[in-house]
Amino acid sequence: MYRITGADGKEYGPVSADQVRQWVAEGRANAQTLVQAEGRTEWKPLAVYPELTMPSAGPTPPPVPTATTGRIPNYLVQSILVTVCCCLPLGIPAIIFAAQVNSKLAAGDVTGALESSRKAKLWCWLAFGLGLAAQLVYGVFYLALLQRGAVHRGMMLP
C-alpha cells in the first residue's frame, strides 16, 4: 500500500500498486510524484519504486525540466528589481507569479510552472515599461520647467 502527494498538494491513499500504476497511465501521477510506502516515514519520487514504474504503467511522462534539459526561469530577481526600481503596483503580481514557479515544479506541475513563468515575465515587462514611461514624462516635465526658469537649485520657485 502507498500514499501519494497529488499536484494539488493533498495526500491520497493508502492505495495499491495497481491503483498507482493506473493513475500514472491516466497522467494523474508521474515519476516526480512523491510516494510514501506503507510502514515508511520518508517521501520519495515515484520513479524510485520499480514496482510502480513498470512498462505496463503506460507512456513515460515528460521529464521535469532541469539544468541539463532546459529550465523554467522564475524571474524572481527581475520581479523584485522592477518592483523596487520601476513600478510597485505592477511589480507585486510579478513577484507572486515568480514565486509560484518553483513550487509548481516541485509538485510536478510543469504546465502550471510554465504558465506562472510566462505571467511573471509579462508583469516584469509591464512594470519596467510603465516605470520607464513615468521617468520619461517626469524628465520632459522637469526640462520644461527648467527652461522656463521655474527650477533653481532643485527647488521650485513661485
Select from 70, 144, 154 the least CA-distant residue to 105: 70
Global pTM reads: 0.52
Q: Is 39 left (phi over 0), alpha (psi -120 to 50) or beta?
A: left
Please state, in angstroms and as integers, the Cα–Cα distance from residue 103 to each residue in 27, 43, 47, 87, following that order: 19, 16, 19, 25
Could you give the strand order of the β-sheet that contains 34-37, starting from the edge strand earlier in sequence? 11-15, 2-5, 34-37, 44-45
Position 61 scores a pLDDT of 56
Give the number of other CB atoms < 10 A from CB of residue 26: 9
CA pseudo-torsion sign 116, 121, 122, 127: positive
In sequence order, which ranges of the chain are alpha helices (DSSP H)?
A: 17-25, 76-85, 88-106, 110-147
Residue ranges in the chain whose pLDDT is less than 50: 56-57, 66-69
CA distances from 60 to 55, 63, 109 (A): 8, 8, 15
